[in-house]
């Protein structure tokens, strides 16, 4: 079986035999896979009238467990956006009826963002469809191979997640 990356690697080996193009074997495939998955996720979310960022915020609230509420600070740390961006996102989600705000009883100046019933139904349905699609992608890979692939990808990703991009050399 061949894919687009095989041709790309062969061309670079021919044009630049002085370089080790082996990283392309893995990372170009990861990059291409990410693009395919991003398109598929957007399609699934669109079916549920959600933007990817909306799903991310709603999913973070849903994973938090009952009562499905978090501070805006917790949400922005989990979704890696700025406070201004998170405020805008919460405003938009509240206007759509997917979340509500309430005063934080432990912080007089703070608020808590709570997943509404509609938000919970929408994120649950989108997640079920997303997982069904992702399972269809992985169905030909044995369980043990999935676990090994997950472990290998984790070993690549964990150090990147721990070190901010501006500190990497």
Total number of domains in the chain = 1
pLDDT tens by residue, 113-132: 999 999 999 999 999 999 99
Residue 5 CA to residue 29 CA, distance in Å, equals 7
Which residue's entry shows tokens 């693009």? 35
Task: Tell me what percent of the residues of the chain surpass a pLDDT of 70.
Answer: 96
Residue 105 CA to residue 72 CA, distance in Å, equals 14
Domain boundaries, position 38: 1-47
Residue 112 CA to residue 69 CA, distance in Å, equals 6
Q: Is residue 39 part of a domain?
A: yes
- Token code pair at residue 51: 């933007």
Q: Assess whether pLDDT exceeds 60 at residue 168.
A: no
Residue 114 CA to residue 104 CA, distance in Å, equals 11
pLDDT value at residue 161: 83
Q: Is residue 4 part of a domain?
A: yes
Q: Is residue 90 part of a domain?
A: no
Residue 1 CA to residue 151 CA, distance in Å, equals 24
Q: Is residue 10 part of a domain?
A: yes
Q: Is residue 1 part of a domain?
A: yes
pLDDT (average), residues 4-12: 96
Q: Residue 94, exposed/middle/buried by CB under 10 A (0-12, 13-18, 19+)?
A: middle
Residue 3 banded pLDDT, cuts 50, 70, 90: very high
Residue 164 banded pLDDT, cuts 50, 70, 90: low
Q: Is residue 165 part of a domain?
A: no
Residue 69 CA to residue 120 CA, distance in Å, equals 11
Q: Is residue 12 part of a domain?
A: yes
Q: Is residue 6 part of a domain?
A: yes
pLDDT (average), residues 78-90: 91
């Amino acid at each position: 079986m061949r894919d687009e990356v095989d041709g790309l690697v062969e061309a670079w080996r021919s044009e630049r035999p002085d370089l080790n193009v082996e990283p392309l074997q893995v990372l170009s495939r990861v990059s291409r896979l990410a693009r395919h998955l991003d398109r598929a996720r957007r399609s699934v979310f669109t079916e549920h009238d959600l933007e990817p960022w909306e799903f991310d915020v709603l999913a973070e609230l849903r994973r938090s467990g009952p009562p499905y509420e978090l501070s805006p600070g917790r949400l922005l740390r989990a979704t890696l956006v700025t406070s201004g961006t998170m405020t805008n996102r919460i405003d938009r989600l509240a206007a759509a009826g997917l979340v509500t705000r309430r005063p934080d009883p432990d912080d007089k100046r703070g608020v808590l963002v709570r997943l509404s019933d509609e938000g919970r139904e929408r994120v649950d349905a989108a997640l079920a469809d997303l997982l069904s699609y992702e399972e269809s992608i992985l169905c030909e890979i044995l369980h043990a191979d999935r676990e090994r692939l997950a472990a290998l990808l984790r070993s690549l990703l964990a150090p990147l997640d721990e070190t901010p991009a501006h500190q990497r050399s």
